Structure 1
Amino acid sequence: MVKIAIAGGTGELGREVTEALVATGKHDITVLTRAVRSDIPGVTQRAVDYDDHDGLAQALHGIHTVLSFVNQLMEAPDKNCQKSLIDACISAGVKRFAPSEYGSLGKVDLPFWKKKKATREYLEQVNRHAKVLEYTLFQPGLLLDYLATPFKTSKYVTPLDTFIGFQDRRAIVVEGHEDAVLTLTAVRDIVGVVVQAVDYDGEWPRLGGVRGNRVTVSTILEVGARIRGRPFSVERVQVEDLERGRLNTSWSLGKPHPGFTPEQTGQMEAMLQTVLISILLSVVKEDWEVSDAWNKCLPDFRFTDIESFLDEVWKGKD
């Protein structure tokens, strides 16, 4: 048993992991939250202020592992609560830390994740002379569950659109990059890996790739055609247009991530177009092809296969 603190444990993926860890019955779990809630059984909740270093460090006193799922989309530009959390971990003597990463390997073309990049750089900085804080960057690539949209395939994670839509049998593909590689991992597997990682005896891998499925864009379209009964309608775009901020397509993403603010969603159409352009550019650069570091650490873990997952979701649906 170890003492675990989960920052952002009331959010979507954080809630999935929190409940899975509670279900093991192994650990003493504290959820760090800005506002205590009444619907999270089996944990201790601590209301924290990320600007209060001493208070945050006190909340982490005696904690072995900190898992962060904090949502920084609503955070002020000059703030980085994950940096504050790292400083508090060091002051409190926390052994292990996992930042709110859970996405791609590269971040350059994903401006909405710039604070994740800053957090990575800060972790490297604090450990530059000697290991002060053991950490791993959980990188599962794109959520496989998004290909099930609009159907919800996990308890809390919201179904979101991406550049391949199984419901409408359509896709947006960058010309000449049909064989770009990306990783797709199911939410259930991300949760399972994090739960097992808490008990892992070895040193955590710094770049913690979680490789559920390593596939090309063309392979996803082939799988989609088989499962949905006919080829997808494909619209092709040019890299040069994307780099100029132009999306010459008849459709874009349908709804924003729930973490965006009301002010951001008020500019939803432009924002979603920017997000889609960013994702397409990052796919071209294969930023979503992550390592298999955690696969190697947990060789007995069985990941959800893309075809069986999608067949289960879409079987019998028009």
Structure 2
Amino acid sequence: MVRVAIAGGSGEVAQEVIDALVASKEHEIVILSRNGQGSSNSNPHNLEWRQVNYGDVNSLAQALGGIHTVLSFVQLLQDPGNKAQKNLIDASILASVARFAPSEWGSRAAGSVMPWWTGKDEVKEYLRQVNATEKVLEYTLFQPGLFLNYLATPHKTSKHLAPLNTFVDFHNRRAIVVDGIDTIMTFTTVQDMAAVVAKAVGFEGQWPAVGGIRGNRVAVSQLIEIGTRVRGGPFSVDTVKLEDLEAGSLTTSWKLEAQHHSVSGDEAEKLLRSVLVGTLLSSAKGYWDVSDEWNQLLPGHQFADIEEFLEMAWVGKP
């Protein structure tokens, strides 16, 4: 049993992980919050809450007293300069925290093609630098690829994760593909991801620096074939050229619609276009083809099969 602290615990993915940790009945869970104690409605499991100031490393280190593992779900769009996460790393070292997981929870890379996630690369580099001469903080980059649950949009298939559009739209039987590239994607349910993280917290061996979680590895062409079977009809497919995407040009018959709760209405349309271009580019470059380190370390975990999951998600739905 270890004491694990959750930073950014009000987020959807964080809440899925908290539920999995609670269900394991193996760990003590501390929620770090800027606002202090949550209400009874937001704290059904009577978890310990500690109020923190992410701008003050010393007070943050005090709040991390007795903590073994820190899991960060800090929202990158709300952390200018990645100051909160860098301070959280520095405070973890001061407080002798053993393990740290930064706010990853997606692809294996971001780079310039997903500007809303460039902070992930900066935080990875920061972790590498603090451990450059000697290991002072064990860490892993939890990377589950794209959440399989999103392919059930607009239907909700987990307790906390909200539906979100992707470039393969099962609801409207349509997809956008990159010309000449049959991209490989990793799809993992958020429930599987959360279960693996809960097991990883109790893992007695060393955490791998890169922590891929591979639920299903499929080509986009296979995904469209699955969609055709599951949805009972062919998909309409728009094709875009890689060079057009790299130039920031996008001409398709449809676009993403659902927006993230962290983005204001004024910014939403611009961000959605950027997300669609960036996701198509990053998939074409292989960024969503994640590794399987945690599959190998936790061989007993049975992942949801993509076709079985989607058949259940779409059965009886128009």
Q: Which stretch of structure 1 is more off in the superposition, 31-40 or 161-170?
A: 31-40
Does structure 1 retain, via aligned residues, the 8 Å contact 2:55–2:83?
A: no
1:185 to 175, 180, 188: 188
* Native 8 Å contact 1:3 1:27 kept in 2: yes
Identify the range of structure 1 (41-50 vs 122-131) with the bigger mean alpha-carbon deviation: 41-50
Tell me, what secondary structure is at the counterpart of 2:60?
Answer: helix
Is the contact made by 1:8 and 1:68 (CA closer than 8 Å) also made in structure 2?
yes
CA contact (8 A) 1:225 1:232 kept: yes
Deviation at 1:259, TM superposition (A): 2.3
Once residues 269 and 86 of structure 1 are traced to their aligned partners in structure 2, the CA distance between those partners, rounded to angstroms, is 33
- 2-side partners of 1:83 and 1:11: how far apart? 19
1:268 maps to amino acid: A
Amino acid at match of 2:213: V
Over residues 72-93 of structure 1, what are the superposed CA-to-partner deviations in whole Å (9 max), with x where a residue is unaligned? 21233x3421111000000000
Corresponding residue number in structure 2 for 1:116: 120
Alignment partner of 2:84 out of 76, 81, 85: 81
Corresponding residue of 1:42: 46
Q: Distance in 1 between matches of 2:236 and 2:117?
A: 30
Q: Is the 8 A contact 1:104 1:289 kept in 2?
A: yes
Would the aligned equivalents of 1:295 and 1:301 in 2 still touch at CA under 8 Å? yes
User: Whole-Å Cα distance in 2 between the matches of residues 28 and 106 of structure 1?
Assistant: 31
CA contact (8 A) 2:184 2:217 kept: yes
Per-residue deviation, residues 273-310 of structure 1 (Å, max 9, x unmatched): 11100000001001001111000000010001100000
Aligned residues between the structures: 313
Give % identity: 53
Superposition map of 1:214-225 within 5 A: 214-225=217-228
Q: Distance in 2 between matches of 1:259 and 1:192?
A: 25
The Cα of 1:47 is off from its aligned counterpart by 1.5
Question: What is the correspondence of 1:173-252 to structure 2 with a 5 Å cutoff?
Answer: 173-177=177-181, 179-252=182-255
Separation in 2, partners of 1:66, 1:115:
18
Alpha-carbon offset, residue 96 of structure 1: 0.5
Q: Deviations over 1:236-259 (max 9, x none)?
A: 011111111111102111022222
State the distance in 2 between where 1:271 and 1:43 align: 35
Aligned mate of 1:158, from 156, 162, 166: 162
Aligned to 1:63: 67
Contact persistence 1:173–1:237 (CA under 8 A): yes
Question: Which residue does 2:308 correspond to in 1?
Answer: 308
Partner of 2:97, secondary structure, is coil
Q: Distance in 1 between matches of 2:97 and 2:56?
A: 17
- Tell me the secondary structure at the aligned position of residue 77 of structure 2: coil
Long gaps (5+) in structure 2: none
Runs (5+) with no aligned partner, structure 1? none
- Residues 192-220 of structure 1 show CA distances to partners (whole Å, capped at 9, x for unaligned) of 00000011111001100000000000000
Using the alignment, how far apart are the partners of 2:75 and 2:237 within structure 1? 33
Partner of residue 25, structure 2 = 25
- Counterpart of 2:313, as a letter, is V
> Structure 1 length normalisation: TM-score?
0.96
Structure 1 residue aligned with 2:172: 168
User: What SS class does the counterpart of residue 239 from structure 2 fall into?
Assistant: strand
89, 96, 99: which one aligns with 2:99: 96
- Residue 255 of structure 1 is matched in structure 2 by 258
- Residue 277 (structure 2) pairs with residue 277 (structure 1): yes
CA contact (8 A) 1:80 1:115 kept: no
Quick one: which amino acid aligns to residue 150 of structure 2? Y
In 2, the alpha carbon distance for the partners of 1:250 and 1:10 equals 36
Q: Is the 8 A contact 2:143 2:211 kept in 1?
A: yes
Amino acid at match of 1:294: W
Query: For residues 82 and 284 of structure 2, what CA distance do their matches in structure 1 show?
Result: 31
TM-score (norm 2): 0.96
Letter in 1 for 2:26: K
Q: Secondary structure at the match of 2:211?
A: strand
Specify the code of the residue in structure 2 equivalent to 1:2.
Answer: V
Contact 1:22/1:42 (CA < 8 Å) preserved in 2? no
